[in-house]
Amino acid sequence: MYKSIVVAVALFNKGATSRALIQKANKLIDPDGSITLVHVLDEVPAYLTAAISREQLMQHRRAIREQLEALAAVAKAKTVDIDIRGGRPSENILDCARDCGAELIMVASHKPGMSDYFIGSTAARVVRHSQISVLVSR
């Protein structure tokens, strides 16, 4: 059983993949443990920043938080936290795990292309650079 698990949440396919990861985390978490759901927003390129209003960005962030809160309701840990970050996904997932003192990172992997044949590129970078255990789910 793990005391602290970080679950990397991607919100494609209506969160089905992330929901499956959280259900796996529920089986692995200590009853007094914590689960942190981390979602990394892609940075908006500078040339688009001028075209998107601050209100649109804030509205998008609120929608993401609402989706994460719905997913958090599925988690069965004593403590469930939501962490929304911006930037490179692999770096932010690893930073979140370090900040939380996590013992396990859980990340989904998409069906890879030729450039990242065995697992997805984000999952591969997390596995390669993590100092703790990583569970990759497909």
- Report all structural domains of the chain as residue ranges with CATH numbers, in order of start: 2-137 (3.40.50.620)
Q: Which amino acid is at 102?
A: A
Contact 26, 34 (CB under 8 A): no
Residues 6+ positions from 48 with CB-CB distance below 8 Å: none
Residue-wise pLDDT tens digits, 29-77: 999 999 999 999 987 777 777 788 889 888 989 999 999 999 999 999 9
User: What element of type H or E holds 59?
Assistant: helix 54-72
Please tell me the distance from the alpha carbon of residue 137 to that of residue 17, in angstroms, as a whole number.
9
Tell me the whole-structure pTM to 2 decimals.
Answer: 0.88
* Angstrom distance (rounded) from CA 3 to CA 29: 6
Share above pLDDT 70 across residues of the chain, in percent, rounded to a whole number: 92
pLDDT at 115: 46
* pLDDT value, residue 112: 54
What pLDDT band is residue 121 in, cutting at 50, 70 and 90?
confident
On the CB side of 89, CA atoms within 13 Å amount to: 20
